[in-house]
């Protein structure tokens, strides 16, 4: 009853946040320039004021909408209080590895009061995002959407409008403080409890916080509006920008046709009432608008409680938005009866997920019938995902297995990529799986504790096997789907279970592969796909310049030095 009262108060104000897409004119070769300034700011997305990282003064930052094939030049200026970086999540960066945005791996971070220009091609259409890859900054707001329009998208004529919906968990404490709590006493004590959930980084939160310490007077609890036209079809691009949370997304009394995941076009045969998204995953769904609606409807996303959460329940597990029909006045609100008690919803969803009744990634298939993996692998690595006690390191989360010995660390004063360019051996603590261009790579993941969203840089992979929760470790008898598996850049390996992915090594470099639960990455749950140095040098030859000498003497050739990062 208390929750219903809070929501009824919130109905006094419904706010439409940036989510509608302005289409670029996708004709010919285009070079697109963006200027982004990262700074510190105070915001109150759920009524509680705290410091964040803003991009061009907003959180989330501006949605960048470009065309497939565009060449992007993005100058990022650091006006914040510590070194930053930007990773372009899902962009392959073929030939542009120093724009991948991983400090110590592909390039240096951007120091305070300095700028860095990222340059890269967007080779595939779809739904992407960009975020910091430094410390826990994206948990603190340094993130935004990146949408790549493809005029040849087979679904483009099947919908009438688009909306970008970023959903995330939200914390009132800074990410760095939470990371220290997670690894209190040098042991992984469980992931923190989110204070609320946000749509486009805005949510009603707990209206009782008004007037409390840290909250602005007169804060108005509001909802994001998702505009839809009666009788028309709306594409919603859903991006889970969470630190850790799995969300279940629903729109009351509307079905969701799934047409894209992680930039890969799907066959659209799956239509259901809900979609499950893990951290860093993206889905596009099409909603058919009702012909003569007499009311608006709630869309909601509810966090699914994980087994390794520190406390028993989330205080605000669900965020609501209004699916707002254009023929109705803006003061027409959905009925409160559609809203469930948050704890009841949480219990139902947690039970459903744990009983494995949800449609999962194995039920999604590509639109392109030729989008399938090679029949056999040439390299197989077996990795165990676990949490370990500290020995000589402060890291906690680990991949164990041949080629990936344990805790991952970044280089502090250079980059792994520069090491490979200069034929220097990579350190063991970067957890390297070595490949050559053209290899077909299988990675078997045995998940010993907790579920984990795993993300690869510079590639996509096919999920050829993904067992249900509690299935145990991988068995040699496991059957692989090489006929029509889903291809993506972020997938979920279930708790106490196993999964197998396959990819083609076609993008030379040194690429990080990591858990996208930010606390786990901070604890070292990452490894690298490291190509043979000759493959790297063929794509990225060292620059050679001529240094002038005294008159009468030949110029000296100077080879590009090893990258040095400021400390």
Q: Which parts of 60-113 are beta strand (E)?
A: 64-67, 71-79, 87-89
Contacts by residues 377-380 (CB-CB < 8 Å, ≥ 24 positions apart): 377/440, 377/441, 377/442, 377/502, 378/439, 378/440, 378/441, 379/433, 379/435, 379/439, 379/440, 379/441, 379/442, 380/441, 380/442, 380/443, 380/444
Per-residue pLDDT tens digits for 63-73: 999 999 999 99
Q: What is the pLDDT of residue 386?
A: 82
Tell whether the model's pLDDT for residue 310 goes beyond 50: no
Provide, rounded to the nearest whole percent, the portion of the chain with pLDDT above 90: 62
Residue 158, sorted as left (phi over 0), alpha (psi -120 to 50) or beta, turns out to be alpha
pLDDT at 348 over 70: no
In this prediction, residue 139 carries a pLDDT of: 96
Most confident listed range (6-10, 68-72, 183-187)? 68-72
Could you tell me the pLDDT band of residue 8, with boundaries at 50, 70 and 90? Answer: very low
More confident residue, 448 or 366: 366
**Alpha carbon 271 to chain centroid distance?**
23
Q: What is the pLDDT of residues 521-542, one digit of tens each?
A: 988 889 999 999 999 999 999 9
Residue with tokens 């056999």: 376
Query: Which segment of 42-56, 111-125, 207-221, 261-275 scores lowest on mean pLDDT?
Result: 207-221
Cβ partners under 8 Å of residue 307, min gap 6: 450, 495
Would the CATH topology of 2-359 be identical to that of 379-539?
A: yes
Residue 316's pLDDT band, with cuts at 50, 70 and 90, is confident
Segments making up each domain of the chain, as ranges: 2-359, 379-539
- Residue 567 is predicted with a pLDDT of 76
Instruction: State CA 62 to chain mean position distance.
Output: 16
Mean pLDDT (whole number) for 546-564? 77
**Is pLDDT at 96 greater than 80 in this prediction?**
yes
C-alpha 305/C-alpha 344 separation (Å) is 12
Is 553's pLDDT higher than 80? no
Residue 358: per-residue pLDDT: 53
Distance spanning both ends of the chain, measured CA to CA = 54
356 CB neighbour count, 10 Å cutoff: 13
Determine which of 82-91, 280-289, 380-389, 391-400 has the lowest per-residue pLDDT on average. Answer: 391-400
DSSP 10: H
- Do the strands 64-67 and 87-89 form a parallel or antiparallel pair, or are they unpaired? unpaired
CATH 2.60.40.420 for the 2-359 domain, yes or no? yes
Domain at 379-539: CATH architecture: Sandwich (2.60)
Query: How many angstroms separate the CA atoms of 467 and 400, rounded?
Result: 20
> Cis ω on the peptide bond leading into residue 60 (within 30° of 0)?
yes
What CA–CA distance (Å, rounded) separates 353 from 468?
10
Provide mean pLDDT across the span 252-267: 96
Are 323 and 228 spatial neighbours (Cβ–Cβ below 8 Å)? yes
Asked whether 541 and 522 are in contact (CB, 8 A), the reply is no
Question: How high does pLDDT run on average in the chain?
Answer: 85
Report the range of poorest mean pLDDT among 136-145, 343-352, 453-462, 498-507. 343-352
Q: Give the pLDDT confidence of 509-521 residue by residue, as tens digits.
A: 999 999 999 999 9
**Ranges 180-184, 346-350, 493-497: which has the least confidence:** 346-350
User: CA 202 to CA 209: how far, in whole Å?
Assistant: 15
CA 476 vs CA 223, 480, 552: distances in Å: 50, 10, 70
Torsion of CA 25, 29, 35, 36, to 10 degrees: 80
310-336 burial code (b ≥16 CB/10 A, e <16): eeeebebbbbbbbbbbeeeeeeebbee
**pLDDT (tens digit, 9 = 90+) per residue, 335-344?**
775 665 444 4
> What is the rounded average pLDDT of the residues 77-106?
98
Q: How far is CA 97 from CA 84, 108, 127, 243, 536, in A?
A: 17, 12, 20, 25, 10
Query: Tokens for 269?
Result: 């045969």
Confidence check: pLDDT of 79 > 60: yes
User: Model confidence at 391, in pLDDT bands (50, 70, 90)?
Assistant: low
> Among 109-113, 181-185, 219-223, 542-546, which stretch is predicted with the lowest mean pLDDT?
219-223
* Whether 118 contacts 74, CB under 8 Å: yes
Q: Residue 162: what pLDDT?
A: 96
Q: What percent of the chain has pLDDT over 70?
A: 82
Q: In the sheet that 50-55 helps form, which strands lie side by side, from edge to edge?
A: 50-55, 31-43, 71-79, 115-121
Compute, in degrees rounded to 10, the torsion defined by CA atoms 43, 49, 50, 53: 0
Residue 15: exposure state from Cβ atoms within 10 A (0-12, 13-18, ≥19)? middle
pTM of the model: 0.91
Q: Write the DSSP string, 303-365.
A: EEPPTTBSSS--SS-EEEEEEEETTS-TT----GGGPPPHHHHHHHHHHHHHTT-S--GGG--
Q: Is the pLDDT of residue 263 over 90?
A: yes
Least confident piece of the model among 146-160, 196-210, 416-430, 461-475:
196-210
What 3-state class would DSSP assign to 212?
A: coil
Could you give the angle at the alpha carbon of 249 between the alpha carbons of 246 and 255, nearest 5°?
Answer: 145
Please, which pLDDT band fits residue 475 given cuts at 50, 70 and 90? confident
**CB burial of residue 49 (10 Å; 0-12, 13-18, 19+):** middle
Q: What is the pLDDT of residue 436?
A: 98
């Amino acid at each position: 009853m208390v929750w219903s009262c809070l929501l009824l108060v919130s109905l006094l104000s419904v706010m439409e946040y940036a989510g509608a897409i302005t289409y670029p004119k996708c004709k010919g070769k285009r070079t697109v320039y963006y200027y982004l300034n990262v700074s510190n700011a105070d915001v109150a997305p759920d009524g509680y004021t705290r410091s964040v990282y803003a991009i061009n003064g907003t959180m989330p930052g501006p949605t960048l909408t470009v065309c497939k094939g565009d060449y992007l030049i993005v100058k990022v200026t650091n006006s914040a209080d510590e070194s930053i970086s930007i990773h372009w999540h899902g962009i392959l960066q073929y030939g542009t590895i120093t724009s991948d945005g991983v400090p110590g791996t592909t390039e240096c971070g951007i120091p305070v009061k300095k700028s860095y220009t990222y340059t890269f091609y967007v080779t595939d259409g779809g739904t992407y995002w960009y975020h910091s890859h430094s410390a826990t900054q994206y948990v603190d707001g340094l993130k935004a959407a990146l949408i790549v329009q493809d005029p040849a998208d087979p679904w483009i004529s099947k919908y009438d409008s688009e909306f970008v919906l970023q959903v995330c968990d939200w914390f009132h404490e800074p990410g760095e403080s939470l990371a220290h709590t997670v690894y209190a006493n040098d042991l992984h004590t469980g992931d923190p409890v989110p204070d609320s959930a946000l749509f486009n980084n805005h949510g009603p939160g707990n209206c009782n916080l008004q007037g409390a310490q840290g909250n602005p007077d007169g804060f108005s609890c509001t909802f994001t509006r998702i505009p839809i036209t009666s009788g028309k079809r709306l594409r919603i691009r859903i991006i889970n920008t969470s630190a850790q949370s799995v969300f279940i997304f629903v729109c009351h009394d509307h079905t969701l046709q799934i047409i894209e995941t992680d930039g890969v076009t799907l066959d659209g045969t799956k239509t259901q009432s809900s979609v499950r998204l893990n951290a860093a995953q993206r889905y596009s769904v099409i909603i058919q608008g009702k012909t003569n609606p007499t009311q608006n409807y709630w869309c909601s996303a509810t966090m699914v409680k994980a087994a390794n959460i520190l406390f028993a329940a989330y205080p605000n597990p669900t965020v609501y938005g209004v699916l707002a029909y254009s023929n109705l006045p803006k003061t027409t609100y959905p009925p409160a009866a559609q809203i469930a008690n948050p704890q009841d919803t949480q219990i139902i969803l947690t039970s459903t997920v744990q009983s494995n009744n949800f449609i999962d990634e194995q039920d999604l298939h590509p639109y392109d019938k030729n989008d399938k993996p090679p029949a056999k692998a040439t390299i197989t690595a077996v990795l165990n995902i676990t949490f370990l006690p500290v020995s000589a390191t402060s890291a906690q989360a680990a991949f164990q297995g041949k080629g990936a010995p344990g805790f991952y660390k970044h280089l502090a004063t250079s980059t792994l990529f520069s090491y490979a360019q200069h034929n220097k051996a990579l350190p063991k603590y970067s957890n390297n799986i070595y490949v050559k261009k053209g290899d077909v790579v299988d990675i078997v993941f045995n998940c010993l504790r907790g579920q984990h969203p795993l993300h690869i840089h510079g590639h996509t992979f096919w999920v050829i096997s993904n067992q249900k929760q509690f299935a145990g470790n991988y068995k040699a008898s496991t059957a692989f789907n090489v006929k029509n598996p889903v291809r993506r850049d972020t997938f979920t390996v279930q708790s106490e279970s196993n999964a197998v992915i396959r990819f083609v090594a076609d993008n030379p470099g040194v690429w990080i592969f990591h858990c996208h639960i930010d606390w786990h990455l901070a604890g070292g749950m990452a490894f690298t796909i490291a190509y043979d140095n000759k493959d790297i040098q063929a794509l990225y030859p060292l620059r050679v310049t001529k240094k002038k000498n005294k008159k009468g003497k030949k110029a000296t050739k100077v080879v590009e030095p090893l990258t040095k990062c400021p400390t």
